[in-house]
Amino acid sequence: MFEIENLHASIEDTEILKGVNLTINMGEIHALMGPNGSGKSTLANVLAGHPSYEVTEGSIRFMGEDILEMEPDERAQLGIFLAFQYPTVIPGVSMANFLRMAVTNVRNARAERAAGEGEEAKKMTPREFRKLMREKMALLKMDESFATRYLNEGFSGGEKKRAEILQMALLEPTMAILDETDSGLDIDALRVVSEGVNNLAGDDMGVLLITHYQRLLNYIKPDHVHIMMEGRIVQSGGPELAAELEAKGYEKLRGEVTATA
């Protein structure tokens, strides 16, 4: 589904990604780990189409389509989801209203893509949105009062994650990219993310879970684990790789990788 080949990307003329190769098939959960500054967030941003990064070499194909020239919103319509790392506070806009705008835009555009020539795309009505939101909130065991709160105003770490996971549930992406920042998650946030991913991942949704720490992988079982160092994926394996990393630490692994390179 995702085919990333020899991807090189720069920011302000500094090359950060130096030849990333990664293939993710439909419905798989991949964990991307690596030390601070190795380029994990850069990869997430480049996949989502962040305009600050320049791809200088290589290719990204998603569902068989070359997405390099696509805008972030077109990628979202295709089914790529990248959670907002630092969502802005918008006082006066409720979660429900924000999500309705974000979600109906993407879903309506998707319906238009799916509709044939001369065929009318079926738009999502506010009533349908509210029904869908109630269903997803029930699935994720979220309190309904959450929807009426103002966007990110005074949200705890766990609540910000809840907003992110709810948005993911409503968008129904085929590929969800979750970048869990190096500051790590508190225990509440960890639980929200792991329950959300475990509830939503499946045959229809693949996940690229970016995490500095092994801890999150005690709750989410990835099919594949990759380790990124200095802008490249230097090792790939199964879940045992994360455990090995936890035991050895990145420094020891770095020594081994450079010794064999």
Please give the residue ranges that form the binding site for ligand ADP (CB under 6 A): 11-12, 14, 16, 34, 36-42, 182
Q: How far is the CB of 24 from ligand ADP (least distance, A)?
A: 18
Q: How far is the CB of 215 from ligand ADP (least distance, A)?
A: 16
Residue with smaller CB distance to ligand ADP, 37 or 255 = 37
Stretch that binds Mg ion, among 37-45, 92-100, 104-112, 235-243 (CB under 5 A): 37-45
Footprint of Mg ion on 99-138 (CB under 5 A): none
Q: How far is the C-alpha of 67 from the C-alpha of 80, rounded, in Å? A: 11
Asked if 140 and 89 count as a contact pair (C-beta separation under 8 A), the reply is no
# binding residues, Mg ion (CB under 5 A): 2
- When CB distances are held under 5 to 8 angstroms depending on the partner's kind, the choice from ligand ADP, Mg ion, none that residue 37 binds is ligand ADP
Q: How far is the C-alpha of 110 from the C-alpha of 100, rounded, in Å? A: 15
Residue with smaller CB distance to Mg ion, 41 or 77 = 41
Count how many Cα atoms sit within 13 Å of the Cα of residue 41 in the half-sphere of its side chain.
14
Q: How far is the C-alpha of 112 from the C-alpha of 134, rounded, in Å? A: 25
Q: How far is the C-alpha of 210 from the C-alpha of 78, rounded, in Å? A: 21
Residue with CB nearest Mg ion? 41
**Burial (CB count <10 Å: 0-12, 13-18, 19+), residue 66:** exposed
Q: How far is the CB of 253 from ligand ADP (least distance, A)?
A: 15
Q: How far is the CB of 10 from ligand ADP (least distance, A)?
A: 9
- When CB distances are held under 5 to 8 angstroms depending on the partner's kind, the choice from Mg ion, ligand ADP, none that residue 79 binds is none
Residue with smaller CB distance to ligand ADP, 29 or 229 = 229
Q: Which two tokens stand for residue 14?
A: 């500094």
Q: How far is the CB of 185 from Mg ion (least distance, A)?
A: 13
Residue with smaller CB distance to Mg ion, 32 or 147 = 32
Residue with smaller CB distance to ligand ADP, 105 or 214 = 214
Residue with smaller CB distance to ligand ADP, 169 or 227 = 227
Q: Does 38 bind Mg ion (CB under 5 A)?
A: no
Strand order in the sheet with 2-11: 14-24, 2-11, 53-62, 65-66
Q: How far is the CB of 125 from Mg ion (least distance, A)?
A: 38
Residue with smaller CB distance to Mg ion, 40 or 226 = 40
Residue 234: how many CB atoms within 10 A of its CB?
Answer: 19
What SS3 state is found at 19?
A: strand
Residue from 4, 28, 32, 41 touching Mg ion (CB under 5 A): that is 41
Q: Looking at beta carbons, which pairs linking 19-24 to residues 24 or more positions away fall under 8 Å?
A: 19/57, 19/58, 19/231, 19/232, 20/58, 20/228, 20/231, 20/232, 20/233, 21/233, 22/226, 22/233, 24/175, 24/206, 24/208
Eight-state DSSP code of residue 202: B
Interaction site with Mg ion (CB under 5 A): 40-41
